[in-house]
Every structure is written in structure tokens, then in C-alpha cells.
Amino acid sequence: MFINLSNHKKSNNINEKVTFMKIILVAGARPNFPKIAPILKELENKTDIETILVHTGQHYDSNMSDVFFKELGIREPDINLGIRGNQAEQTAQIIEKFDKLVEEQKPDLAIVVGDVTSTLACAIVCAKRKIKLAHIEAGLRSFNYEMPEEINRIVTDVLSNYLFVTEESGIQNLIRQGIPSNKISFVGHVMIDTLIQNIEKAKNLQTWRELNLTNQGYAIMTLHRPQNVDDSENLQKAVDITIEISKKIQLVWPIHPRTKANLEKFNMLKQLEEANIKIIEPQGYLEFLNLVMHAKFIVTDSGGVQEETTYLRLPCLTLRDETERPITVDVGTNTVTGLNKRLILAKVTEILTGTYKKGAMPPLWDGFASKRIVDTLLKKNENAN
């Protein structure tokens, strides 16, 4: 376990009458980093709060982790738990190491984001240690219990004291789960805060040109959900769909390490290469955003990408049978297609002929979610003292 507590902020203004709060923020995997960045910045601006940034080490490749810290201006983690292994091993290691950390540091509050293994494991520790817990992006439900993320969401929400919701469906899901309404705050989306804060920087990049792409002349594919990439039959279906789409438009595919390993294992990479699909490494946040901004549409099974494309008004086809983010379908630019090739190709035709839906902006996706979260937490802390 790597510990570097020299750079986390302490209040040194002894004249200031403040309620001092020590907060641990947890991040572990790629989708967590754009979510913690704006919250951490907001907390770092407060003199009465000490923050400890914990990286569990769940994602450790430089293009899945370091690049996000650099590009999003997230400071070096104060503690890296350095966990490794499969999901069960990761959960066990995080519980053991995070428990020791919490015992030593005695925080007033821990903040977890999203639905990854790290979110769940740290939530369990906090509940057992009676540390107040805030869950950012609470209440999302796919109702597909085969998704590891759905289990992580349900357990984390049940154990949380403060639940911050990104879209209104989340409020209903939590109430149905028996969560008291005074624990729930509808605040908008921290991931959209990050997108808004970084869009100008991303615009200045030339990633799409460097890849010899033409503006609006390509589509992007991202795929990493276990149900799509671990099962060879489903992965072959996704590959077939990709090849069909690439007959209509150039496709670029930044490949997630898990997907790459499985394409290699099942001998499918060659089919993609033969179809002239641009297979590239996972992109940094800004580079990916640059590619997205110049693309015609996206085909994905990512959670965050469904939301980012809704914000950007870019068509998104989601290769899953359901979404835990229904606002992106009801209001935004998303269509849930599963691996239904006919439906996907029909939607691609709509997009290419300009008849696909245009989408609108979900409520409170305005760049101020992290401010609302920190204000709410401070108020709740004040009321509790």
C-alpha cells in the first residue's frame, strides 16, 4: 500500500470558526476518475475540509488511470491500495486494506462514486465501521441482476447515508428500495461537470486528424461489459455488427483491455482488421472527447458514454438489452438496441439520412452538480453538529 499524506489539505486558519471535516474520496476504475475530479476540486476550495484521496488500484494501466489524473488535474492519490486479481480477490483486498485505513484515519465521511468493485467494497467497510457514506450516482437501476454493477449499486445505496442522484428515475428506484427520501438529493451529474470543464481543452486537440479521420465521417465503438465481451457468442455478434456498420461508415474502436484480451483469446481480432476497422488503444479523456465531438455517432455498452453523448446531442446506440440511465433514451440521443443487428442497421440508416432523434438536455446537467453535492454535505454536517 502506497501512502503519501504530505499533499492533502488541512485547515491551518486557526482564527476561522469552522466545523472541521475529514473526508475520504475513493476512486478505482476509469469511469470513477471523471466523477471524482470536480468533487475533489470543490472540496479542495474549502478551508474547513481535509481530503484524503484513495486510489484502490483496480485500474492501473497508465491509459486507464494515470492519463486521467494528468488531464483532469486530479492530484496524486494520497493512498494507493495497489489491489490486483479478479473481482472476488479485489473485493477482499479492498475490504481488508480500506478497513485498516479507515481505522487509522477516522474520517467523518467517505465519498464513493458509480458502481464498480471499489465502490461496493468501500461501502461495506464504511457501514461496518459506522463511517458516514455518500454515494454519487445513486439510484440507477438496470434491473438486470446478472450485471455485477447492479449488485454494486443496490448494496452501496442501501448502505449509504447521503444519496446523490443524477436523474429523476433514481429517486423512484431508491424510494421503492425503502430508502428514506430525506437521504436522497437530486443534484445532476458530476460527469457532465467534468465534460463542461474540459470541452474547450478537448476542442483544441487534433486527435481525429492525427488518425486520418474526416469530420463527421466516422463512428466510434466502445465495448467492455462482461455480458458482451466474456461470452464468445455475444462477442462474435458484436464483431459481426461492427463489420456491418463499417460497410456504411469508417469505424474507430478504442479497445478496452478486457475486450482486447477476449478478442485475442477467441481469435476475432483478424476479422476486424480485415474489415478495415481502426483498432486503437484506450484513449485519454481529452483525446476521447475530441474523437467523440467529431464523430457521426457512437456504438457502445458504456454507462458514462450514453450520458456524455446525450449532453453532446450525438446519436448513441447502446448494445445492451436495457439501460440504468433511461433519461438518455427518453430525453436524450440514446437508443437501446441490444445485439439486434437489424435494429442497429435501421438506426444507423436514420442517423446517416438525418432522421434520427435530436434529443434534449436532461434537467440539472448544467455543470454545477459537484457544487450542489458539497453544499448539501456541508449543510448536513452543520445540522448534525
**Which residues are catalytic, by number?**
224
Name the residue nearer to ligand UDP (CB basis): 32 or 93.
32
Residue 304 in contact with ligand UDP, rule: CB under 6 A: yes
Residue 65 in contact with ligand UDP, rule: CB under 6 A: no
CA 270 – CA 29 distance, rounded (Å):
29
CB of 29 to ligand UDP, least distance (A): 7
Q: What DSSP letter does each residue of 128-153 carry, written as one string?
A: HHT-EEEEEEET-----TTSHHHHHH
Single residue of 188, 282, 359, 362 touching ligand UDP by CB under 6 A: 282
Q: What is residue 325's three-state secondary structure?
A: coil
CA 285 – CA 66 distance, rounded (Å):
11
User: For strand 2-3 and strand 79-80, is the pairing parallel, antiparallel, or unpaired?
Assistant: antiparallel
Closest CA to 275 of 317, 243, 251: 243
Single residue of 164, 186, 218, 288 touching ligand UDP by CB under 6 A: 288
Residue 332 in contact with ligand UDP, rule: CB under 6 A: no
Residue pair 356/338 in contact by the 8 Å Cβ criterion: no
Give, as ranges, the residues between 235 and 274 that touch ligand UDP (CB under 6 A): 254
What cell does 237 get?
A: 455478434
Region binding ligand UDP by CB under 6 A among candidate stretches 72-80, 119-127, 296-304, 328-336: 296-304
Single residue of 8, 26, 27, 34 touching ligand UDP by CB under 6 A: 34
CB of 222 to ligand UDP, least distance (A): 5
Name the residue nearer to ligand UDP (CB basis): 269 or 352.
269
Residue pair 290/208 in contact by the 8 Å Cβ criterion: yes
Q: Name the CA radius of gyration of the chain, rounded.
A: 21
CB of 35 to ligand UDP, least distance (A): 8
CB of 354 to ligand UDP, least distance (A): 25
Name the residue nearer to ligand UDP (CB basis): 305 or 374.
305
C-alpha distance from residue 178 to each of 43, 88, 154 (Å): 30, 28, 11
Q: What DSSP letter does each residue of 213-240 carry, written as one string?
A: --TT-EEEEE---HHHHTSHHHHHHHHH
CB of 71 to ligand UDP, least distance (A): 9
Residues touching ligand UDP, count (CB under 6 A): 15
Closest CA to 71 of 202, 204, 184, 263: 202
Residue 38 in contact with ligand UDP, rule: CB under 6 A: no
Residue 320 in contact with ligand UDP, rule: CB under 6 A: no
Tell me, residue by residue from 187 to 226, as one string, x for binding to ligand UDP by CB under 6 A and - for no binding: -----------------------------------x-x--
Residue 28 in contact with ligand UDP, rule: CB under 6 A: no
Single-letter amino acid code for the residue at 347: K
Name the residue nearer to ligand UDP (CB basis): 77 or 284.
284
Q: Which helix (H) or strand (E) holds 121?
A: helix 117-129
CB of 265 to ligand UDP, least distance (A): 20
Name the residue nearer to ligand UDP (CB basis): 186 or 285.
285
What does the chain come to in residues?
385
Residue 305 in contact with ligand UDP, rule: CB under 6 A: yes
Residue pair 67/78 in contact by the 8 Å Cβ criterion: no
Residue 302 in contact with ligand UDP, rule: CB under 6 A: yes
CA 294 – CA 249 distance, rounded (Å):
14
Residue pair 285/68 in contact by the 8 Å Cβ criterion: yes
Residue 347 in contact with ligand UDP, rule: CB under 6 A: no
Binding site for ligand UDP (CB under 6 A): 30-31, 34, 222, 224, 254, 282-283, 285, 288, 302-305, 308
